[in-house]
Amino acid sequence: MEHAVEVREVSKMFKLYHENVRSLKEKVLFLRKRGYEEFWALRDVDLDVEKGETLGIIGANGSGKSTLLKCMTKILYPTSGKIVTNGSIAALLELGAGFQPDLTGRENVYLNASILGFSRKEVDNKFDEIVAFAELERFIDNYVRNYSSGMYIRLGFAVAISVDPDILIVDEVLAVGDESFQRKCLDRIDEIRDSGNTIVFVTHNVDITKEICDRVIMLEGGRIVKEGYPKDVVNYYHQVMETEEEASERGNRKIEITAVQLLNDKGEESKDFDTGSSMRIRVFYHAREPIGDPVFGFSLDDYRGFTAFGTNTALKGTRMGTVEGEGIVEFDLKSLPMLDGRYLVSVAVHSRDGEVDYHWLDKYLPFEMHSDIDDAGLLYVPCEVNYLSLTEGASLL
């Protein structure tokens, strides 16, 4: 089956030129070749948008959402990879893009609609509807340069939806209008969707995607990091945003934790673990002087700060004696019971009485749990079902 949009291994690089060449030496060094850095706004993005689907794209500021939409609408071209679109496209990109400030609202409606492929007569027929949707009856003959941002958006949206495109691409537009206009747009998007058209929808207000999208992808640093049902991707987005808080460190570092590794059941370093699989937490330390009887420990916390599990060498009855120089402490977790979600590992070494912190690494290493189990909750509990009918005088015994 043909897709509405096919994105194949698309990467987009921007050249960031060095503006401030401060010293003469730098000037001489950059004289021949003007210095620039490569910045990859999109990396290896692969995506099919199904016909008739409403696809949401979410991600933090700067994650590449607008760049991806601009590549879909051919305002930008990918540095590598390719994009195929099937059907007519109307795009509502940035605020007021496509409007001429020195023309009136009326003239801009005709100009925009003709760019989208409409004849004058077709626009004549739709004109009143467009203006009514935009609620701009009183202002339609004013110059667009005098419009507020809300008026820009209302007019842009009204034009884009009036052309009944096969594919409607909307970028962050709803962030601007007031709430009643947003509601109206969402209702209209619902109608467009119900009539079988394809919608690609970018928004900051990720919870809206749960309401209107069939599927959501999340971008991070120009890559797709999550794709699936709106509920799941939006939950993941919230988890990532809430665990962004900085990892923190404390302690006198008489024993320093120099590295921490998470190993999967094949003994390889990993950040992805399946429910029920094992995890080895390997802690590398360096004791700068002989230290008697330290305690090493860890905890696994979810994004809300809830500790799923934690223990330490003292609780496990291990006495390490005096440590000096470099060494390794390993914790073998036989089976991880957590269902899907993002977790952070904290690691610490302190004195046996808990009075002295040698080194704490709080919320240090992230990892992700994956499962295809549909049971609800945070943890997997093996559960069997038995049943027996108690009619006809049978009993459980």
Helix (H, G, I), strand (E, B) or coil at 93: coil
List the one residue from 5, 49, 56, 67 that touches ligand ADP (CB under 6 A): 67
Question: Binding of ligand ADP at residue 380 (CB under 6 A)?
Answer: no
Which does residue 17 touch among Mg ion, ligand ADP, none (CB within 5 to 8 A, set by kind)?
none
Cβ at position 68, least distance to ligand ADP in Å: 7
From the list 62-70, 153-161, 253-261, 362-370, the region that binds ligand ADP by CB under 6 A is 62-70
The phi and psi torsions of 191 (rounded to 5 degrees) equal: -65, -45
Contact 341, 368 (CB under 8 A): yes
- 14 versus 143: smaller Cβ distance to ligand ADP: 14
Cβ at position 172, least distance to Mg ion in Å: 6
Question: Binding of ligand ADP at residue 284 (CB under 6 A)?
Answer: no
b/e code 77-94 from CB counts within 10 Å (16+ = b) = ebeebebebeeebbbbbe
Q: Rounded to whole angstroms, how far apart are CA atoms 208 and 227?
A: 16
Which does residue 325 touch among Mg ion, ligand ADP, none (CB within 5 to 8 A, set by kind)?
none
Which does residue 41 touch among ligand ADP, Mg ion, none (CB within 5 to 8 A, set by kind)?
ligand ADP
Size of the site for ligand ADP (CB under 6 A): 12
b/e code 349-373 from CB counts within 10 Å (16+ = b) = bbbeeeeebbbbbbbbbbbbbebee
Question: Binding of ligand ADP at residue 297 (CB under 6 A)?
Answer: no
Tokens of 243: 């665990």
The phi and psi torsions of 335 (rounded to 5 degrees) equal: -155, 120
Question: Binding of ligand ADP at residue 66 (CB under 6 A)?
Answer: yes
List the one residue from 43, 65, 226, 359 that touches ligand ADP (CB under 6 A): 65
- 54 versus 66: smaller Cβ distance to ligand ADP: 66
Question: Binding of ligand ADP at residue 117 (CB under 6 A)?
Answer: no
Question: Binding of Mg ion at residue 66 (CB under 5 A)?
Answer: yes
Contact 348, 383 (CB under 8 A): no
CA-based R_g, the chain, Å: 29
Contact 296, 345 (CB under 8 A): no
Q: Rounded to whole angstroms, how far apart are CA atoms 62 and 78?
A: 17
Q: Which of residues 227-256 bind ligand ADP (CB under 6 A)?
A: none
Question: Binding of ligand ADP at residue 39 (CB under 6 A)?
Answer: yes
Which does residue 315 touch among ligand ADP, Mg ion, none (CB within 5 to 8 A, set by kind)?
none
DSSP 104: B
- 113 versus 234: smaller Cβ distance to ligand ADP: 234
Q: Which of residues 26-65 bind Mg ion (CB under 5 A)?
A: 65
- Annotate each residue in 40-59 with x if it binds ligand ADP (CB under 6 A) or - if it does not, as one string: -x-----------------x
Question: Which residues are CB-contacts of 126 (< 8 A; sequence separation ≥ 6)?
Answer: 113, 118, 162
Residues that bind Mg ion (CB under 5 A): 65-66
